[in-house]
């Protein structure tokens, strides 16, 4: 990265000592207090004061990379300006839809934190028409996103199930990886195939929740067999059927007791109380 310090005279700052920096983000001038004062437009390649660039939540100096005149000439001066002010229609706040260009009440827009009036730029009808015209594309995009992020959606589903019952639901992919690192596979068999995460105390009991105190990795067939049963009673009935190890089961109960800050005896009593 090349740097040099010099007295730089700009129409917006007068004579002031600035640091000229050239980096992958572009060429820009940095004041001695660390603020970005000006930067080079990526379109016209001219050095301009930061005020000539539209604000953004990211980017060099938290400004877009293209200056306003270049942006207007490239995309049209009114492309997004049409949607920037709030008007009224029949006494209700409204703004012009970016798609149909009709003045529409704000209540007929979907919410968006960064949008004008806290709403999206297109009205609900135009949003729906756009979705309808691209329905197959959007469905395939959603399917592909789900396939690529299956673990994320599974963790989200577990949190939601617990939250719906008012239970603790801090389960996340990070916690899931930590629990898997501890057990190195299914908690009762050591298998790495078809791993499910089982709620040891089922959500339907109104206890437990989706958290590391109540979830362990189990092979799919074991998880489907256990369902909503008391884990101690289920193990006794199915130990021989699945060829399960008493030692692994005892280690698992010891782990859960530690996570719940209980002795193994206290944890066993707790599980029985939860199943009523």
pLDDT digits over 19-67, tens only?
A: 666 666 566 666 656 677 788 888 888 888 888 888 888 777 888 888 8
Check whether residue 174 and residue 115 sit in a common domain: no
Burial class (CB in 10 A: 0-12, 13-18, 19+), 265: exposed
Say what angle helices 231-242 and 264-274 make with each other, to 10 degrees: 100
The range of the structural domain enclosing residue 87 comes to: 81-132
Does any domain span residue 141?
Answer: no
Check whether residue 215 and residue 263 sit in a common domain: yes
Check whether residue 45 and residue 109 sit in a common domain: no
What is the tens place of the pLDDT at every residue in 224-260?
999 999 999 999 999 999 999 999 999 999 999 999 9
* DSSP code for 37: E
Give the tokens for residue 72.
Answer: 């207007």
Q: How far apart are CA 249 and CA 112, in angstroms?
A: 49
Count of structural domains within the chain: 3
Q: How far apart are CA 173 and CA 150, in angstroms?
A: 11
Check whether residue 248 and residue 233 sit in a common domain: yes
DSSP assignment of 224-263: HHHTTS-HHHHHHHHHHHHT--HHHHHHHHHHHHHHTT--
CA 134 vs. chain centroid, Å, equals 24
């Amino acid at each position: 990265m090349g740097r040099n310090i010099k007295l730089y005279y700009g129409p917006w700052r007068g004579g002031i000592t600035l640091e000229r920096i050239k980096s992958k983000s572009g060429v820009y001038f940095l004041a001695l207090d660390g603020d970005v004062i000006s930067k080079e437009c990526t379109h016209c390649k001219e050095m301009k004061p930061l005020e000539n660039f539209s604000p953004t939540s990211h980017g060099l100096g938290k400004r877009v990379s293209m200056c306003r005149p270049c942006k207007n000439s490239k995309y049209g001066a009114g492309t997004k300006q049409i949607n920037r002010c709030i008007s009224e229609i029949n006494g209700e706040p409204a703004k012009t839809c970016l798609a149909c260009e009709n003045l529409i009440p704000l209540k007929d827009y979907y919410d968006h934190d960064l949008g004008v009036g806290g709403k999206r730029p297109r009205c609900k009808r135009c949003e729906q028409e756009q979705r309808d015209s691209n329905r197959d594309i959007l469905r395939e995009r959603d399917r592909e996103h789900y396939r690529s992020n299956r673990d994320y959606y599974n963790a989200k589903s577990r949190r939601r199930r617990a939250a719906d019952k008012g239970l603790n639901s801090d389960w996340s992919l990070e916690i899931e990886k930590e629990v898997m690192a501890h057990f190195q596979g299914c908690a009762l068999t050591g298998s790495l195939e078809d791993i499910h995460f089982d709620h040891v105390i089922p959500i339907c009991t109104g206890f437990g929740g989706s958290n590391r105190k109540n979830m362990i990795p189990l092979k799919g067939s074991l998880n489907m067999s256990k369902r909503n049963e008391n884990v101690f009673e289920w193990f006794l009935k199915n130990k021989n059927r699945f060829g399960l190890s008493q030692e692994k089961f005892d280690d698992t109960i010891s782990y859960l007791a530690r996570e719940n800050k209980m002795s193994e005896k206290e944890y066993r009593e707790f599980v029985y109380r939860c199943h009523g």
